[in-house]
Amino acid sequence: MRNYTFVLFVIGISSMVLGCSGPQVANNTPPPLTQSTPSKKFTTADVAKLKWIEGTWRGMDGDKPFYERYKIEETAMVVETLKADGSVNGEPDRFELKDGEFGKDEGDRRSVASEITADHIQFVPGVPGKSNSFRFERQPNNTWRAVLEWPAKGDKPAGQKIYIMEPWKP
């Protein structure tokens, strides 16, 4: 199982996210993400704007590190979960450009981009109310942050969690 992988954390294990005790806050906490609608106007040039995310990264979930490798292909972003020794842990995730939409298709937990710039990408649920929103934000110090948000559900309040991703060499 891919432990501590925030992409799967957001997309595949939303019930764990909803059970979090609270957000992990970094300096300069961003404002809450806006709920917007998926765009179907993306091109290969938009995917190329994400080259800044390429590389091998370490994030922390509390006191537990997790490791990921990102690669931008012509029409896809490939995300590999890594073990502490740098070896690949399971099958990679693929966010792909299809018919102007950029995202990952997982049925009701489908996540698609609503905005891509040279400094961030915003993902929103592909099926309204069925998933969480998340944003990858380029930072000026060769790091980036993943900002995850989930809606209120039942008696659990809406929440936000932030992961700072730092370059990592196994």
5: left (phi over 0), alpha (psi -120 to 50) or beta: beta
Predicted confidence (pLDDT) at residue 51 exceeds the cutoff of 60: yes
**pTM for this structure?**
0.78
Contact 122, 50 (CB under 8 A): no
Domain count within the chain: 1
Residue 131's pLDDT is what?
Answer: 74
At residue 2, the pLDDT reads 45
> Is residue 1 a part of any domain in this protein?
no
Q: Residue 19 has what pLDDT?
A: 37
Residue 115, domain member (yes or no): yes
What is the Cα–Cα distance from 65 to 117, expressed in whole angstroms?
28
What distance lies between CA 57 and its chain's CA centroid? 13
Count of Cβ atoms closer than 10 Å to residue 83 Cβ: 13
Q: What is the pLDDT of residue 28?
A: 54
**pLDDT (average), residues 59-78:** 97
The phi and psi torsions of 103 (rounded to 5 degrees) equal 175, -165
Per-residue pLDDT of 85-141, as tens digits, reads 999 999 999 999 999 999 998 776 789 999 999 999 999 998 776 778 999 999 999
Q: Give the pLDDT score at 151.
A: 87
What does the pLDDT average to over 21-41? Answer: 58
| CATH code for the domain in which residue 32 is found | 2.40.128.210
- Residue 11, sorted as left (phi over 0), alpha (psi -120 to 50) or beta, turns out to be alpha
Residue 27 in any domain: the answer is: yes
Q: Give a yes or no: residue 93 inside a domain.
A: yes
The DSSP code sequence of the chain is --TT-HHHHHHT-HHHHHT-SS----SSPPPPPP--PPPS---HHHHHGGGGG-EEEEEEETTEEEEEEEEEETTEEEEEEE-TTS-B-SPPEEEEEETTEEEE--GGG-EEEEEE-SSEEEEEESSTTSS-EEEEEE-TTS-EEEEEEE--BTTBPPEEEEEEEEE---
Phi/psi for 24 (5° steps) reads -95, 115
Is the per-residue pLDDT at 76 higher than 90? yes
Q: What percent of the chain has pLDDT over 90?
A: 65
CA-wise closest residue to 79 among 129, 4, 155, 7: 7
Q: What is the mean pLDDT of residues 141-158?
A: 93
Bigger pLDDT: 32 or 55?
55
Q: Which of 17-26, 28-37, 38-47, 126-135 has the highest mean pLDDT?
A: 38-47
Which residue segment(s) compose the domain that 91 sits in?
A: 6-167
Say if 132 falls within a structural domain: yes
Q: Lowest-confidence range among 20-24, 82-86, 130-134?
A: 20-24
Q: Quick one: pLDDT at residue 32?
A: 53
Position 87 in a domain: yes
